[in-house]
Structure formats: structure tokens, C-alpha cells
Structure 1
Amino acid sequence: MTDSPMSPRLTEALTVVSQAVNSELDRLLPVSESPDSRVHEAMRYVTLDGGKRLRPFLVMQSASLFNVAESAAIRVACAIEMIHCYSLVHDDLPCMDDDDLRRGRPTCHKAFDEATALLAGDALLTKAFEVLVNPATHADPAVRCELVADLAHASGGQGMVGGQMIDLQAHTLDLDVAGITRLQQLKTGRLFSFSCEAGAVLGKAHGELRLALRNYAHDLGLAFQIADDILDVEGDVAEVGKRVNKDADAGKATFVSLLGLERAKSQADMLAEQACRHLDPFGEKADLMRDVARFVVRRRS
């Protein structure tokens, strides 16, 4: 891993997508003046606060590979960001990771309160599926049903939630590299897979092209998590935007603790390049997705 900056073309493309996603999220999550306004305020607090928007970006890029209308892709991009943000809100709660800082700001339960944070996460989770099932996302109900089923699988007990359950017990488990890999494939990798395959679903593509995106997402997700583990050891709170050294303090096994720092860095680089090779069938159209794979192992936050 190096400190090389994000490529200029990726910086520009991420900025464009981030602005589009923010605009659509602002529209999908309007300000409320009713008695339930506090939960809407909290939902907006955690979704409109920035972040890298990697998952929405991957949705938009995978959709572009199949010439999917941007108006459809942006709705799926917002749905996955709602799921991601809900998961961060719940992860930060005292009963989970008990974090006070997220993206350089107070976490939702600190800015509001625990009950409001819990409800805001619940509301974002359900709103994501409301967005997907709306005919505005795709004219074909079969496509909408597939998106709903795929996101439910990726985010539920056999996906992100299942991974979080293992993570909560990780300090009591004797996890080896295979165990950590499975944990992270569930907790982090499933949402990356959904993001990368969503374009193929929207474009009604199957077979080798969809498999290529799935394999890309698999390696990207692991590279991302190894980089996260490295940041937890080497990162600075001001730069990372959240508490560091959490895993070591909690006694959890990580890729760094099992492989060592230098080997973990090499593994992350190898996975990033392997992810890029999975995109060969798409040629130059997938260059920005290749840039993402290389960026995730160089990022400092």
C-alpha cells in the first residue's frame, strides 16, 4: 500500500456521483414538520453527511456497463446508501461498537439520542426497499423483485447482519484467516456484491458478465476490509474520522493481527489487482471500477 492520491478521473467521477446521490437522497428524505420530524432529521443527518459513496458509485458504474438509464441507477444507488448508513448508525450504538465519532462528526446517538438513532436506522432500512419496489426504479416488476430479494439477502441474517453477529462475538472466538474472511464477506462483502451486480440486474444481464462483477466485488470487498484493518492500526483519528485501534483494544483477531502488517498490505494489493483482472470482459468501460479497486487499498479514511 502507498499514500498515492486517488486518480484525478476517479476524483472527478466520485464527485459527480456524490452530488447526484446527495440530491436524490435529499428528495427521497424530505424535511418533515410533523411530530415525527426528529426521526426524519436524524435520517438526513446520517445520509447527507458525505462519506465516500463507494457503494452508490459502484451501482452507477455497473449500470453504465449495460447502458442502464441513470434515473433508474440513481434510485438503486440511494437504496444501497440508505442500507449502508442504517448499518453504521446501528453499529455505532452502545450495545454494538459504542462509537462517538463517525465521518468526523458525532455519531447519530450522540447527536440525537439512542432511541432516535435506533428508529432512524429502522426507517432507513425500510425506506430502501420502498425505493426499490417503486415502478420509477424499473418498469419491469420482475427486475424490481430481483433487486429487493438480492438486497434483502445481502443485508440480512445471511449477509451483513449475520457478519455483525459474528463480529460481536469475535473477541471470544478463535478465528483464523478463513474465519475472518467469512466474517468480512458477510459484514462488508455482501453489500459490495449487491452494488456491483445491481447494474447487471437492471440491465437484465446474466452469465459470465454477472459472474465477472461478482468476482470483482468479492476481491474488492476483502481488499477494502484489509485496508480498514490496516487503518485501524496505522490511521489517525483526525484523518480517518473515527476511533482507531478498536480491534486491538477489544481483543479481536483481524487480517493484520493474523498476517502481520506487511503481509496484510501485500495481500490487499494483490486482491485489488485481481479484482481489476475480473473486469477484463468489459474493456475500457470498466476503468473507473479498476480505479476504485486500487483506491480502496490506498485510502487514508
Structure 2
Amino acid sequence: MIRAMHNRAPTPRTRVSHPRSHRALAHVSAVATAGQVAEVHSAPAFDFEMYMRDRAEMVNKALDAALPSRYPEVLVDSMRYSVLAGGKRVRPALTLAACDLVGGDMATALPTACAMEMIHTMSLIHDDLPAMDNDDFRRGRPTNHKVYGEDIAILAGDALLSFAFEHIARDTKGVPADAVLKVIMELGRAVGAQGLSAGQAVDIKSEGQEVGLEVLEYIHHHKTAALLEAAVVCGALVGGADTATVEKLRKYALNIGLAFQVIDDILDVTQTTETLGKTAAKDLAVNKTTYPKLLGLEASRKVADDLIREAIAQLDEFEPARKAPMVALAHLIGYRKN
């Protein structure tokens, strides 16, 4: 099914993920601990909700420290407004989990994890602009350009993108220079003309047109899966993984990345604006091609389930307790409600 295509006013300082996400986390935690997920059945009890809460707090504190308020305040406050706005912190959690999975020290992966969230936040700021998706709400509150204006929002996104690479290069300690260079290369590719930007461009030009499944997969692989791929691969690289292991984890990430966007398409037509924290039914309003539109809801749900199952299969060689976070993260993506 999946094809690897490499050619999507300052807040309180230690804010954790959005409260509505706790229901999804609790569901995944219950699945993991009750032994209903075969892949982690033999693992010790694993509290995934606590795991995600701890990782979110760790990342939030690191982001807050990395981006202190300073001159010019309007730009930095705009950056902080969006990057500290909460969210589940799935991408940094994947980076930290992948590093830990291959035996690395999570502290060494924290700058890379923060960079993932900075770049993801940049993509949200720019995606919400009137020239793109023209959204008024993100994570349950006004979008960046609604608060700071379009001009500052664009600059805040640009600044977050450049700062992400600076943060990795300057603050990653105890990792060989060639590994750091590979991390920067992977992340650069994920954002540029072979990744998020490419997916966004094709997505924009496809609005109002009838496109097939191949083009839709291209959009989702590049717009969404590319950054999730980078999050996992970069965590593994910082953790010292060999090439074979990195490629296995790349397949895991590509599968969950596509599943993430399939679920996003489903949620857009099945959930409310309040539940999503962003405007619901946007895809329908602009006549955008989505998985439910092409395949229907039931078939789309099966596609997502199959992708999650294929992703988890890439973790077979790892011991159950060690892979439990990444198995649970895959299920979080598959069962999320916002």
C-alpha cells in the first residue's frame, strides 16, 4: 500500500497538551495496558497517558527555555504564541521514543525533538494564512495571523523554521558530527521541495479538481508523512542506530504518517469544530479530494487500520517493553479524535 516517496500573546510556560486529547490518550493507554493490542501483550503495564504527559512537559519546558521573550518582542511573542499553544506533541514524542528504542540517551535528542515541533508549528502558522487554508482557529484559539497580523505570522513561521536548524546544530551534545549532519539533511528534505512544501503545493493546485488516489497519496506522503518520517528517523540517528534499523523505522514512520492524514480526512467530516480545535468540514467546503470522498468512510477507516498494522510490524525485532511507546503512538494516531 505504502510507497516511500522522498521526491505537510505568550502562553503559560509549562502548558501541557490540550485537555480534549486526554480521552484519546486514555483510550490508547487502556488498550496497551489491558493486553488488547497483541504487539504489547507480553510487555509490562505501560501507562501511555502518563508517558505522553511527561514527554509533553519535557518538550514544553525545553521550548520555553529555547525561546525566551526578547527584542523584537512582537516577533518572538508571535513565535511563542503558536509553539507553546499545547497540542499532543506527537512529533517530538516520536523523536524521543525512536532515540530510546535504539538505545540512545533521550536528553541528546531533545533539541531535535524541539526542532520538530518548531517546524510543525511553522507549517501550521503558514497553512492557516488567508493565502493558504484561511483558518481562524487552531488548537482551540485564534490562529496566529488573527492575533498578530499576516505579516508578523509569516515572519514568525520563517523564524521558527530557521531557528529549528540552529537549535539542532548548536545544542545537540554528545552526538557525532556526521550524525548531526544527517539529521539536518533529513529535516531539510522533509520541509522542502521533496517534502512538506511539495505536498502543500500539489494540495493547493488540486483544490476544486478531481484527483485520483495516486495524487492524493503524494500529497499526504509529502505534506504530512514527511515530517513524521523525519521525527522518527532523526531520533534514531541521534540515538546511534545503524542504517538497517533507520530504514525499518523509516517504513514505520511513513505508514503512520499516511495513516495520520487519512484519519485527518475522516475527522474533518465526522467531528465538530469544538472537538477538532480547528474549523471542521473545511475540505468539504473547498471541494478538496480526500480519502472519504474517494473511498468512503468505511474503506478509509480500513486503510488507516492497515497502515497502522503495517507500521507496528516494523517493530517486531524490538523487545515489547522497549517498543511499547512507539506501538502506542501508532495507535494514538489511529484512534485520535482531534
Query: TM-score band (shorter)?
Result: over 0.9
Q: CA deviation at 1:136?
A: 3.3
Q: Deviation per CA, 1:226-247, whole angstroms, max 9, x where unpaired? A: 1100000001111110001111
Aligned pairs for 1:158-237 within 5 A: 158-237=194-273
3-state SS, counterpart of residue 203 of structure 2: helix
Residue pair 1:65, 1:199 contacting (<8 A) in 2 also: no
1:270 aligns with 2:292: no
Match of 2:54?
Answer: 16
Give me the whole-angstrom Cα distance separating, in 1, the residues matched to 2:183 and 2:27: 34
- Alignment partner, residue 5 of structure 1: 27
Alignment of 1:126 with 2:148, yes or no, is no
CA RMSD, Structure 1 to Structure 2 (Å)? 1.5
Change in Cα spacing, 1:281 to 1:233, as seen in structure 2 (3 Å) is: same
Q: Is the 8 A contact 2:268 2:283 kept in 1?
A: yes
**1:55-94 alignment runs, 5 A limit:** 55-94=91-130
Q: How does 1:138-157 map to 2 (within 5 A)?
A: 138-157=174-193
Contact 1:75 1:137 (C-alpha < 8 Å) held by counterparts: no
SS of equivalent to 2:183: helix
- What is the distance in 2 between the residues matched to 1:295 and 1:262? 19
**Separation of aligned partners in 1, 2:102 and 2:309:** 23
Question: Which sections of structure 2, spanning at least 5 residues, go unmatched?
Answer: 1-23, 31-46
Pairs within 5 Å for 1:221-300: 221-284=257-320, 285-300=322-337
Alignment partners' CA distance in 2, 1:100 and 1:18: 25
What secondary structure sits across from 1:15 in the alignment?
helix
Distance 2:248 2:66 in 1: 32
- Paired residue type of 2:286: A
One-letter amino acid matched to 1:71: A
Deviation at 1:115, TM superposition (A): 0.7
- How far apart in 2 are the matches of 1:95 and 1:165? 12
> Structure 1 residues 287-296 or 80-89, which shifts more?
287-296
CA distance in 2, matches of 1:60, 1:135: 15
Q: Give the equivalent residue in structure 2 for 1:104.
A: 140
Do the aligned partners of 1:268 and 1:297 also contact (CA within 8 Å) in 2? yes
State the AA in 2 paired with 1:82. M
Question: How far off its partner does 1:142 sit?
Answer: 1.2
> 1:28 maps to which residue?
66
**What TM-score does the superposition give when structure 2 sets the normalisation length?**
0.85
Q: Quick one: structure 1 residues 136 and 215, their matched pair in 2 at CA, closer, same or farther if it must change by over 3 Å?
A: closer
In structure 1, the partner of 2:80 is 44
- Name the structure 2 match of 1:53: 89
Q: Check whether the contact 2:263–2:301 (CA below 8 A) recurs between aligned residues.
A: yes
One-letter code aligned to 1:128:
A
Q: Assess, with a 3 A threshold, how the Cα gap between structure 1 residues 283 and 178 changes in structure 2: closer, same or farther.
A: farther
Deviation per residue, 1:112-138 (Å, 9 max, x gap) = 111110110010000000011115344
Q: Does the Cα contact within 8 Å between 2:112 and 2:235 map onto a contact in 1?
A: no
Structure 1's consecutive aligned runs of 4 or more residues displaced over 6 angstroms after TM superposition are: none
- For 1:48, give the aligned amino acid: L
